[in-house]
Amino acid sequence: MSILKTTNLTHLYGQKTLFEVTAVKNISIEIEEGEFLGVIGHTGSGKSTLIQHFNGLLKPDSGNVYLDGRDIWESKESVRKARFAVGLCFQYPEYQLFEETVYRDISFGPKNMGLAEDEIDRRVQRAARFVGLREELLSKSPFDLSGGEKRRAAIAGVMAMEPRVLILDEPTAGLDPRGRDTVLGFVKEYRQETGGTVVLVSHSMDDIARLATRAVVMNRSEIAMAGTVDEIFSRGGELLEMGLNVPQVTRIFLDLRGRGLPVSASVYTNEQGEKELLRLFQKGNGGGAQ
Amino acid sequence: MSENIIEFKNVTYAYDNAAEDGNPIDADPAVSNISLAIKRGEFVAVLGHNGSGKSTLAKLCNAILTPQGGAVMSGGFDTADESRVLDIRRTVGMVFQNPDNQIVATVVEDDVAFGPENLGVEPLEIRKRVDEALTAVGMYGFRLYEPHKLSGGQKQRVAIAGVIAMRTDCIVLDEPTAMLDPRGRLEVMDIIKKLNRELGITVVLITHFMDEAVQAGRVIVMDEGRIILDGTPKEVFARKETLRGTGLDIPQAAAFADRLRADGIPLPDGILTAEECADAIAYAYAYANN
Ligand SMILES: Nc1ncnc2c1ncn2[C@@H]1O[C@H](COP(=O)(O)OP(=O)(O)OP(=O)(O)O)[C@@H](O)[C@H]1O
Ligand SMILES: Nc1ncnc2c1ncn2[C@@H]1O[C@H](COP(=O)(O)OP(=O)(O)OP(=O)(O)O)[C@@H](O)[C@H]1O
Ligand SMILES: [Mg+2]
Ligand SMILES: [Mg+2]
């Protein structure tokens, strides 16, 4: 059974005003327990609106959201359950940092869950270490952090809750390259160790290609495509029309094919690209590769 | 007019940090004894790990912050001279890291008009500039919307329109593409290059995307409040060990080319872009097969 499911989910902003927007339109998706779902889509396509329904932060205008087969809006208790089971990290970390110190911010979730003091401390230290937040920053005010440090604090706060479903909205925006690798590596590890489910919203086609087991593409408030990473990125022309793209390595291979080189264009990660070129150069007589 | 639009002379800036108990935390300065000259018409990319001092450096350029040691001259004006603040803001426009911190009005077009209004631009001219700037970033259709109710990427586009409308001689952009979709990212980079090449506007672009830095004429790398590398993209990205040591990386295509070279595929040094990478592979293949 799927862990999260929406049926005909619709969300409007500014209802019955001049500025009414249907941000999410009639979306039905199922997310399987343990999968790594990538969500891509142009600016304003409805990604953030959609995922804020998964833990009950936004309420559907029509349609339903189910966690473990139960409508999350069934009762007060079920909404509360969704808040703890589904951890959501906002697109702008400023929206979720409000405590006096970074330490208190990260411990806010675990505290609300009613965990013991020493367990809270263990989780805070662990989460801070994983996102690469230096010890001395924990006593600072979150508002006095740099952009990337805020991002790390916000991610640590969600991770510390050890939710069954981890939803990350552009978690690598503003992170330096090492931070990006650290955080994504940790998310991958977390999923493998706990069997947790991950939903990653990202404008990085490369990260989605590398990490996701399945992806959905949003376009103008609706789901335009859903499938494996290979299925999605084999439709490069359509993605371009929607303001998206294919991973950079795929562009290199499309370029090579355009020049008549006998290479596959179904290359979405650097590993696949490396393999494909080794094959090519081994076949070519006297190629440099041995 | 001086040849340098921005000049830092031994500039130091430290935030005063207080811990919960009110005692100061002994933090290293965010910017530490930096000397730097940016010439009129340059396109400079600034890289650096999270917390390395990039945003602090940016805010020192247009007197949002003033140095505690040393001096900053912007457009020939000393930023410590309070009577010159307007002249300085007329010279150096800025896009903040988080667009929320930049929103000042409740309607998108007023928000974009705010900058030019403050510079005393004629109303008719403002109207023209606002329309042009919103069109350039693809947000004209949202001109009557409330900026804080836009999606993450839409806010970022509006913030960029704001600085375009000001037409200052120099613009400083702090991670302007962090929340944009692939097409938006390309469009904004095109706008930046156009402003620089066609209008001669000096551009300082802070970014975590190595692929964007490659497009600048000069790349500066910060580490712990200091400048550790300064040169052309080719020069800076040749310093792989230094970059990785400071939490950064080389452009994706360069990293891919490195892997292929390690596999024995003969590619030249200095590959930075996807096009260069495809060119080199096609050349090596042709060479191996004739
Ligand atoms: N609080 C709000 N009030 C009114 N309209 C909103 C609000 N938040 C978003 N919108 C609108 O709803 C639509 C979908 O926005 P959403 O934030 O879900 O997009 P997104 O796919 O996350 O975009 P991005 O990639 O830019 O973050 C957009 O047209 C946006 O302008
Ligand atoms: N308002 C503030 N009060 C106190 N300390 C601050 C403040 N803003 C930044 N700092 C500290 O100053 C240092 C430099 O911060 P800055 O914002 O300039 O970094 P940055 O290079 O822009 O980082 P990022 O890539 O994360 O945006 C960091 O260690 C940060 O914690
Ligand atoms: Mg969003
Ligand atoms: Mg910054």
Q: Which of B 94-153 lie inside 8 A of A, CB atoms?
A: 97-98, 100, 144-146, 149-153
CA A288 to mean position of chain CA atoms: 40
Ligand 3: centre distance to CA A28 (Å)? 19
**A42 chain-B contacts, CB cut-off 8 A:** 181, 183-184
| Burial of B23: CB neighbours in 10 Å, binned 0-12, 13-18, 19+ | exposed
Q: Which pLDDT belongs to residue A19?
A: 87
Mean pLDDT of all residues belonging to chain A:
94
Any atom of ligand 1 within 6 Å of the Cβ of A48:
yes
pLDDT of residue A286: 47
Q: Do the chains contact at B263 and A261, CB–CB below 8 Å?
A: no
The neighbouring-strand residues paired with A12 are A22
Nearest by CB: A42 against B19, B146, B181: B181
**Could you count the other beta carbons within 10 Å of the beta carbon of residue B39?**
15
Indicate yes or no: CB of A287 within 8 angstroms of CB of B98: no
Q: Which of A15, A27, A40, A48 to mutate to test the pocket of ligand 1 (most atoms within 8 A of CB)?
A: A48
Q: What is the pLDDT of residue B2?
A: 73
ipTM of this complex: 0.93
**What spacing in Å lies between the alpha carbon of A48 and ligand 3's midpoint?**
4
Among A97, A145, A176, say which to mutate for ligand 2: greatest number of ligand atoms within 8 Å of CB: A145
Query: What's the one-letter identity of residue A26?
Result: N
Which B residues in the span 4-63 are in contact with A, Cβ-Cβ below 8 Å? 15, 17, 19-20, 25, 27, 48-51, 55
Q: Tokens 């089971």 belong to which residue?
A: A85
DSSP string, A2-14: EEEEEEEEEEEES
Q: How high is the mean pLDDT in each 10-residue block of chain A (290 residues)? A: 96 92 97 97 97 97 97 95 95 90 95 94 94 93 95 95 96 96 93 94 97 97 97 96 97 96 95 96 58
Q: Phi and psi dihedrals of A277, rounded to 5?
A: -75, -35
- pLDDT tens, residue order, chain B (290 aa): 679 999 999 999 999 865 555 555 567 899 999 999 999 999 999 999 999 999 999 999 999 999 999 999 999 999 999 999 999 999 999 999 988 888 899 999 999 999 999 989 999 999 999 999 999 999 999 999 999 999 999 999 999 999 999 999 999 999 999 999 999 999 999 999 999 999 999 999 999 999 999 999 999 999 999 999 999 999 999 999 999 999 999 999 999 999 999 999 999 999 999 999 999 999 999 999 87
Query: pLDDT at position B66, please?
Result: 97
Nearest in space to A205 (alpha carbons), one of A248, A150, A163: A248
Residue A287: its pLDDT value, please?
46
Q: Per the CB < 8 Å rule, is B284 touching A206?
A: no
pLDDT attached to residue B179? 93
pLDDT at B178: 94
Which residues are B170's β-sheet partners?
A: B92, B202
- Chain B (180-239) residues lying within 8 Å, Cβ to Cβ, of chain A: 180-185, 208, 210-211
**pLDDT (0 to 100) of residue B102:** 86
Nearest to B55 among A140, A147, A180 (CB): A147
Identity of the amino acid at B57: L
Closest CA to A270 of B178, B258, B238, B267: B258
Give helix B123-136 / helix B152-166 axis angle, nearest 10°: 140
Whether the CB of B152 sits within 6 Å of ligand 1: yes
Dihedral, A182, A184, A187, A193 alpha carbons, nearest 10: -70
What does the pLDDT look like over B176-212, one tens digit per residue?
999 999 999 999 999 999 999 999 999 999 999 999 9
Handedness of CA A227, A230, A232, A235 (dihedral sign): negative
Question: First vs last Cα of chain B: how many Å apart?
Answer: 58
Nearest CB to B15; choose among A101, A144, A284: A144
One-letter amino acid at A170 equals E
Residue of B nearest to A100 (CA): B20
B48 contact residues in A (CB cutoff 8 A): 176
Coil/strand/helix, residue A69: coil
| pTM, to two decimals | 0.95
Q: Would you say the CB of residue B29 lies under 6 angstroms from ligand 2?
A: no
Give phi and psi for B61, each to the nearest 5: -70, -35
What does residue A118 show for φ and ψ, rounded to 5 degrees? -75, -30
The pLDDT of residue A18 is 86
A183's tokens: 């955080």
Do residue A284 and residue B288 have CB atoms under 8 angstroms apart?
yes
Closest ligand, as measured to the CA of A203: 1
Contact B179 A173 (CB under 8 A): yes
- Residue A245 phi/psi, 5-degree rounding, is -160, -175
* pLDDT for res A288: 46
Interface A-B, measured as beta-carbon pairs within 8 A, has a size of 175
Ligand 2 centre to CA of B53 (Å) is 6
Cβ neighbours of residue B141 closer than 8 Å, sequence gap 6 or more: none
Length of chain B: 290
Choose, out of B252, B285, B287, B289, the residue to mutate when testing the contact with A (most A CBs < 10 Å). Answer: B285
Give the count of alpha carbons within 13 A of A102, CB side only: 29
**CB of B158 closer than 6 angstroms to any ligand 1 atom:** no
Task: Quote the pLDDT of residue B18.
Answer: 56
* pLDDT the model gives residue A227: 97
Q: What integer pLDDT is reported at residue A289 of this predicted model?
A: 46
Q: Quick one: CA dihedral A174, A178, A184, A190, positive or negative?
A: negative
Helices (H), chain B: 54-61, 85-91, 108-118, 123-136, 152-166, 182-199, 210-213, 233-237, 240-245, 252-262, 274-288
Residue B284 Cα distances to A69, A198, A250, B145, B277, angstroms: 56, 41, 19, 53, 11
Are A137 and A111 contacting, i.e. CB atoms less than 8 angstroms apart? no
Residue B262 contacts A where some CB pair is shorter than 8 Å: no
Q: Please tell me the residue having the least CA distance from ligand 1 atom 23.
A: A44
Amino acid at A210: R
Our CA-based measurement puts residue B267 at a distance from the nearest CA of chain A, in whole angstroms, of 10
Is B45:B55 a contact under the CB 8 Å cutoff? no
